[in-house]
Structure 1
Amino acid sequence: MSANHDSANLLEVRGLTKIFGTLTACNHVDLNIAKGEIHALLGENGAGKSTLVKMLFGSLEPNSGEIFWDGQPVRIASPGAAKKLGIGMVFQHFSLFEALTAAENIALSLDDGSPISSIAAKARALSYSYGLPLDPESLVGDLSVGERQRIEIIRCLLQTPQLIILDEPTSVLTPQEADKLFETLERLRSEGKSILYISHRLEEVKRICDRATVLRHGKVVGHCNPRQETAASLARMMVGNEVKAVVRAPAEGIETAPALLEIRALTRKPATPFSIPLRNINLTVRAGEVIGIAGVAGNGQGEFFESVSGEALQPEAGSVRIRGKDAGGLSITGRRLMGAAFVPEERLGHGAAPRMKLSENLLLSRHATDGKAFVGSGGMVKSAAIYAASQRIIEVMDVRKSAPDPEAAALSGGNLQKFIVGRELDRKPSVMVVNQPTWGVDAGAAAHIRPALIELARSGSAVLVINPD
C-alpha cells in the first residue's frame, strides 16, 4: 500500500471530477473518511454533494480522479459494486416501488435469497430497535414521506455496510426519532463503522459529527471540527456569506381580514387500510395571515393536503371554501382557477415530472390558470412565453442549474424546491397551501423560500404551511 494512503482511512478520494456539459459539478474533490468516524459533507444545494456521493455509490462515473477503499485503488462501476465493497446509501429522494410492500422493497436490495417472511421479521425487529417503527406489510404507496424514509434507512442497515452514506436522514423524523437514530449512529461508530453524513441541520452536525468537509460550487473550500464551530459559522462556510434569520413582524388587523381559506368540519374516511382518517377539522386562514400546522410525519398531513388541494374530492362541497365559495367538490384545477396554489411535500414525481424540462413542468401546472398567456388560438402552445416565465421564476428564486432549461431531475433537491415554490408564487395566488416547504433544503435556499411566503401574506394572501419541523 502506498505511503500516501493512511491505513486509518476507510475511504480516500483524490481529485474526483464530474462534468455535465459546461457545468463542473465536482472539481478535483479530495475527501478522507476515517474508520469509525461520522464525517459531515456540507454545502448549499447545488454545491456538488449529491454528485459526489453518487460517484462513491457507483451511480455516476467520474471524469477523472481516484478512489481508494481501505488503502487499495478501486473502481466503483455500479451500486452493486459499491454494496459489495461495503458501501450503503440512503438517498434523499427515495428509490421505492409504490405498488410493493415495505418488505418487498427491502428484499429487492438483498442478495441472500431469504423468504419475504424472514426479511419482514428482521426489518420489523430492526425498525423497532432503532425507534423507527415500520409495518413491513404496508404498501409503500400508502405511506407518508417519513415512513418511506424509514424503509430506506432499515434497508441500508440490513446490508451491514462498512460505510453508510446518509443524505438528509432526519429531515422528516421527529426529535425523538432523530435522537434514537443518533444513538444508533454512535453505536455503529463505536463498532468501527464509518458514516458520511449529509445534512442542512447544522446543530445536529455539531452534535454527532467528528469532522466536516465543506463544498461550494463543486470545490472543497474547507475542513473543520463541527464541534468547534457555531451553526452560523458553518452556514457562512457553506454559502460564502452571512445567512440572516427570517423574522416576521406581527401583522395587524388580521382578526377583521376576510377569510380566504376555510376548512369546515372536514372529515375523511381512510382510503386504504393504512391511511389516516380525518375527523372534524376546522380551520380559517385570513388575508395577510400565515398559519402553521405542526405534527409528527404520518399523522394525516398527507391526507389533509390531498383534501384541501383537491387531489381528493370531498362529499360536502362546503367542507373546503376558497375566497368565500364552496370548493370541496372541485378538482385541483378547479381550486387553482379560484385563486389557490399548492406545493406538495414530494418534489420529484408529485411536484414536478422528473424527465420533463422546467418550462414543461410550468405548463403542466398552469395551462388552465394561464391559458391565454401560455396557449394560443387552436391550442398552440406559446413556447417562448412559457420559457420566459420559467426563466423569470429561476431568476427570482435563484435556482441554480446546469442548463438553460434542464429536466427537473437534473436539479438538486433545494433548487427544485425553489422552482416549485416560485412557480406557484409567480401566479400571485390568493391562497397558498405548502406542505414541508423547506424539507431537505439548505439555509441559503430556505432563506429564499421563507421570506417569499411571508411577502405573499404581506401582500394580502392567505398562507397555510404544513411542516413537522
Structure 2
Amino acid sequence: MTPPTSPPRLELRGITKRYPGCLANDRIDLAIEPGEIHALLGENGAGKSTLMKIIYGVIQADAGEILWHGEPVEMRDPAMARGFGVGMVFQHFSLFETLTVAENIALAMGRAAGTPQQLEPKIREVSQRYGMALEPQRLVHSLSIGERQRVEIVRCLMQDIELLILDEPTSVLTPQETDELFVTLRRLAAEGCSILFISHKLGEVRALCQHATVLRGGRVSGHCVPAECSDLELARMMVGEAEGLEASYPKVAGGAPFLRVEGLSWHNPDPFGTSLKELALEVRGGEIVGIAGVAGNGQDELLALLSGEQRLPGSPASIRFADQPVAHLRPDARRAAGLAFVPAERLGHGAVPELSLTDNALLTAFQRGLVERGLIRRGKVRAFAEEIIRRFAVKTPDAQAAARSLSGGNLQKFILGREILQQPKLLVAAHPTWGVDVGAAAAIHRALIALRDAGAAILVISEDLDELFQISDRLAALSGGRLSALTPTAQTDTTEVGRWMAGEFATTPASVNGAF
C-alpha cells in the first residue's frame, strides 16, 4: 500500500486524561485518514467515551496533542470542534420532541444559518442526496427512532463536516435501517468524509470499517483490519479472554406456561407514548421468549403493565401468573407471586445512584428474609450483596461502593444478579446487555441460560437481534403497540424479524403459542 502523501485528517498523540482514582486515557495514539471509516473498540470502561469527548471538545486532555490536517489544534468546546469540521451523533439523541425537524436543525446551527423556513430546502437536498429523506416540517415526536437518527446525522452534514463521530449508531435500528445507514456512511466516506465508528456489534464493524483501534484499560491494546479478523479475535483484543463469547445455546420447548397475556389493550394518555392493542403472549417455564422492536413501539408500556408499575384494576385476567390474575396487583404482590424485574434504565430505576450496593440489594430483595418484624437485618443484607458481587464477578471495591461508581456493565451484572438470586419463577428483563461490552454480555447470557435451565420463565425485551437469536427459544416483535405471533427461533431469521419490527405482520391468535 502506498503511504499517504498528506498527513492524517485527525491525529492524536499521547492523549492522557486522569480522574480521581482513574486513568481514563493513557497515552493514546490514533490516526484517521480522509475518507476512512475507522472503528474504536473496547469494553465498558476502556476509555472510548472519554476519548470521543476530548476529540469533540466536551472535555480537555491533561496531556498529549491533537493534530488536524497535521497542525496542532485545541478543541476547547464543541462549537470549536464543529468549526474545524467535526460532527458527533451521541448514543442518546439530543432533539426537542415538540419541535419540527427544521427547528431542531436551526437550533443546532445558530442564527447565522438562517430561520427554520430558510433551511428547509437545504435539509431536503442534503437528506435526499444521502438517502435519508426527511420532511422538515414534521414534528420530531412523530418520527421513528431511525428517522430521528437521520435528523442527527443530517444536522451534522448541514455543517460541511470532515469527521463524523458515531456512538453506537445501530443500537436502536432495525436490520433494514442499519443497511440503509451503512449505504449512507459508505457514500460519505467515498466523498472524503472521515468516520469514527464506535460499536459493540463486531459483525457490523467487520463489514463496515477499514481499520480499528482497540482500547483496553485506557490504553491502546492493538490495531487491526476488521475484515481480516473474526469476531472472536476482535473480542480477545478487547477483553483478553474468550469464555462464552461464541457460545451457541440449544433451543428448548419449555414446560407449562407461567405468564399468559390475553387480549391486553391499554390506552396511553401520554401523547408521546404508545397504546397497546390486543396483545397475546405466553412464556413457559424453562424457556426464554424474546421480544424485538425499535424503541418507542410499546416496550415501556408493556414492561410497566407486567411489573405492576401500571395496573389494570378493571381487567385483572388480561395478565396471569400460573393462571392467577395479576393485572390489578401492585409490584410487591407480583414479586411475592414469583416475578423478578430488570428495567431498561439502570440508574434511577434499577438502582438508586447515591445508595451503596448493599442498600440497592435490599430494594427488591426485602422479601427474602432481609427484613424481620420491620427491622432490616444488616448482616444478611450485606452478605446478600457480597454474594451478588462474587457470583456475578461485579468489579467494585466493595459492597459499600455507590451504585453510580460502577461501569454500566458491572451495574447491569449487579442488578441482574440481584434478581436471579431471588430464584424467580418469572424474570422480565429489558435490554439486558444494552451498551454492555462483549465480556459482560457473555456473562449475562450465561446467567440467563442457567436460570432458564433451572425452570424459570424468562421474557427478554431487546433491540439487539443478534442477542435475541442467540438466547431466545421463541421470538416475537412489537411494532406500533401490536405484537406479532410468537415463532420458534429456529424457524425464522433476522430479515423476517426485521419486517415484523417494521410492522409487516398479521396477528393471528391461533399461532400465538408457536408450536415446535
Is the structural similarity TM-score above 0.5? yes
Structure 1, unaligned runs of 5 or more? none
Return the alpha-carbon distance in structure 2 between the equivalents of residues 310 and 126 of structure 1.
46
Q: Which secondary structure does the structure 2 equivalent of 1:341 belong to?
A: strand
Alignment-derived partner of residue 248 in structure 1 = 249
Q: Distance in 2 between matches of 1:119 and 1:181?
A: 23
TM-superposed deviation, 1:105: 5.2
Tell me the distance in 1 between the aligned counterparts of 2:201 and 2:46. Answer: 16
Tell me which residue corresponds to 1:293. Answer: 291
CA distance in 2, matches of 1:411, 1:106: 35
Check whether the contact 1:413–1:441 (CA below 8 A) recurs between aligned residues: yes
| Pair 1:340 & 2:339 matched | yes
**Deviations 1:77-104, CA, capped at 9 Å, x for gaps:** 3333322332222222444567777666
Measured in 1, the distance between the counterparts of 2:137 and 2:392 equals 40
Is residue 50–residue 412 contact of structure 1 (8 Å, CA) maintained in 2?
no
2:176 corresponding residue in structure 1:
176
2:336–2:367 CA contact under 8 A, matched in 1: no
| Correspondence 1:39-438 to 2 at 5 A | 39-95=38-94, 106-112=105-111, 114-116=114-116, 130-131=131-132, 138=139, 149=149, 151-244=151-244, 245-251=246-252, 254=254, 257-314=255-312, 315-353=314-352, 355-357=353-355, 359=357, 362=360, 366-367=362-363, 369-370=365-366, 389-400=384-395, 408=403, 410-438=405-433
Offset at residue 116 of structure 1 (A): 4.7
Could you say if the C-alpha distance between residues 193 and 231 of structure 1 is closer, same or farther in structure 2, counting changes exceeding 3 Å? same
Match of 2:91, SS? coil
Q: Indicate the SS of the match to 1:437.
A: coil
1:373 and 1:143 mapped to 2: Cα distance?
47
Shift of the 370–123 alpha-carbon distance from structure 1 to 2, 3 Å rule, reads farther
- Of 420, 439, 445 in structure 1, the residue corresponding to residue 440 of structure 2 is 445
Contact 1:235 1:243 in 2 (8 A): no
Using the TM superposition, give the Cα deviation of residue 67 of structure 1 relative to its aligned residue in structure 2, in angstroms. 1.6
In structure 2, C-alpha distance between the alignment counterparts of 1:422 and 1:144, rounded to whole Å: 33
Report if aligned partners of 1:9, 1:70 keep a CA contact under 8 Å in 2: yes
Secondary structure of 1:285's counterpart equals strand
How far apart, in 2, do the equivalents of 1:415 and 1:126 lie? 41
Distance 1:67 1:416 in 2: 33
Counterpart residue identity of residue 179, structure 1: D
How big is the shift at 1:462?
0.7
SS at match of 1:367: helix
Q: Partners in 1 of 2:444 and 2:259 — Cα distance?
A: 21
Aligned residue number for residue 511 of structure 2: none
Aligned amino acid, residue 366 of structure 2: D
Contact 1:10 1:70 in 2 (8 A): yes
* Partners of 1:349 and 1:324 in 2: CA distance: 32
**Equivalent residues of 1:13, 1:67 under 8 A apart:** yes
* 1:358 Cα deviation after fit: 5.3
Identity %: 46
Q: Which residue does the alignment assign to 1:24?
A: 23
Q: How far apart, in 1, do the equivalents of 2:386 and 2:124 lie?
A: 47
Asked whether the equivalents of residues 8 and 35 of structure 1 are also in contact (C-alpha less than 8 Å), the reply is no
CA contact (8 A) 2:261 2:319 kept: yes
CA distance in 2, matches of 1:439, 1:134: 30
Indicate the larger mover: 67-76 or 156-165: 156-165
Q: Residues 110-169 of structure 1, C-alpha deviation per residue, up to 9 Å, x if partnerless?
A: 3236445566786677667644868975465x9886666555444444444221111111
Q: Is the 8 A contact 2:431 2:462 kept in 1?
A: yes
CA contact (8 A) 1:393 1:423 kept: yes
d(CA) in 2 for partners of 1:122, 1:343: 44
Contact 1:215 1:238 in 2 (8 A): yes
Report how far residue 301 of structure 1 moved: 2.8
TM-score between the two structures when normalised by the length of structure 1: 0.84
Matched residue type, 1:16: I
> Larger deviation: 333-342 or 160-169?
333-342
Tell me which amino acid in the other structure corresponds to 2:269. Answer: A
Q: Which runs of 5+ in 2 are unaligned?
A: 466-516
How many Å separate the matches in 1 of 2:347 and 2:104?
19
TM superposition score normalised by structure 2: 0.77
Q: How far apart, in 1, do the equivalents of 2:397 and 2:164 lie?
A: 28
Aligned CA distance change for structure 1 residues 94 and 243 (closer, same or farther; 3 Å): farther
Taking a change above 3 Å as real, the CA distance of residues 435 and 101 of structure 1, as seen in their structure-2 partners, is: farther
| Distance of 1:450 and 1:36 partners within structure 2 | 37
Count of matched residue positions in the alignment of Structure 1 and Structure 2: 457
Q: Structure 1 pair 387/187, CA: closer, same or farther in 2 (3 Å)?
A: farther
Question: What is the CA distance between 1:378 and its match in structure 2?
Answer: 6.6
Cα 1:377/1:217, change in 2 over 3 Å: same
Deviation of 1:42 after TM superposition, in Å, equals 1.1
Cα displacement (A) at 1:393: 2.9
Q: Which amino acid aligns with 2:178?
A: A
Cα separation, 1, equivalents of 2:96 and 2:401: 25
Moved more, 74-83 or 105-114: 105-114
**Conserved? CA contact 1:362–1:386, under 8 Å:** no
Indicate how the Cα distance of structure 1 residues 155 and 308 shifts in structure 2: closer, same or farther if over 3 A, else same.
farther
Matched with 1:456 is 451
How far off its partner does 1:184 sit?
1.1
SS in 2 for 1:109: helix
Of 189-198 and 227-236, deviating more is: 227-236
CA contact (8 A) 1:102 1:135 kept: yes
C-alpha deviations, 1:36-93, integer Å up to 9, x for none? 2111111122222112212222233322222222222222233333223322222224
- Residue 9 of structure 1 aligns to a residue whose secondary structure is coil
Matched residue of 2:109: which SS?
coil
Distance 2:68 2:397 in 1: 30
Q: Residues 282-319 of structure 1, C-alpha deviation per residue, up to 9 Å, x if partnerless?
A: 21112111112234444333332232223332341111
